[in-house]
Copies of this chain bind each other. A is one copy, B any other.
Amino acid sequence: MSNLQVTVDIVLFTIIDRKLQVLLIRRLAEPFRGSYALPGGFVLENESVDAAAHRELQEETGVEKVFLEQLYTFGEPKRDPRGRVITVAYYALVANSHILRSGTDAADAAWFSLEELPELAFDHQSIIEHAQLRIRGKLDYSNVGFELLPEKFTLTELQLVHESIIGESLDKRNFRRKILQQEIIEPSNEFRKTGRKPAQLYRFIDSSNDGVGV
């Protein structure tokens, strides 16, 4: 009917090197050849937009069954020089542990910390900024923090996740008190041998409630 197209783009976050990082893919074709872009692609004829996001994430990064949530829809007419393309942006969170098996068919995928983003294609810079704000806003009334960690984690690791999301450091005792009194994690009986004093490993108690939603 019209020549309008709809895509999904995904801001995939993880924690590497104690910092929040985003997965980007180097573009091999024009426009923006050589720049980096978010993984994503077209929504197919008989596929929900959510399904398209899951599929693209799987195809381009090999990542499955992760936290994935719709972020915002970007619909400026000139955002893609090739024609009218509206994109529904998503953001996803993965624990460091299940990262990027080499199944990636996109040649040049790489992680970038948010302070050192490369030249970005389209309006992807803006999309990443939106995602960052969203995750920051949801940090303390949802479980986004846990989605970035493996099943078992130490309180210090959790604190580092929080710190890297909000971009400032927290008081260790206050942080632990706040988390513990929420009763959303429980200690396992394992410890992490981390070179020095071993750290208690905790596990998230999933009460199937990741916050307010939407």
**Residues of A near any B CB (own CB < 8 A):** 1-6, 43, 45-50, 52, 70-77, 84, 86, 88, 130, 133-134, 137, 212-214
- Please state if B137 and A2 are interface contacts (CB–CB under 8 Å): no
- A127 → chain B, closest Cβ, in Å? 11
- Please state if B214 and A6 are interface contacts (CB–CB under 8 Å): no
How many copies of this kind of chain does the complex include? 2
Selected from B5, B71, B75, B213, the residue in CB contact (under 8 A) with A4 is B5
Q: Can you spell out 19 A-B residue pairs with CB atoms less than 8 angstroms apart?
A: A1-B3, A1-B4, A1-B5, A4-B6, A4-B43, A4-B45, A6-B75, A43-B75, A45-B84, A46-B84, A47-B77, A49-B86, A70-B72, A72-B214, A73-B73, A75-B88, A130-B214, A133-B213, A137-B214
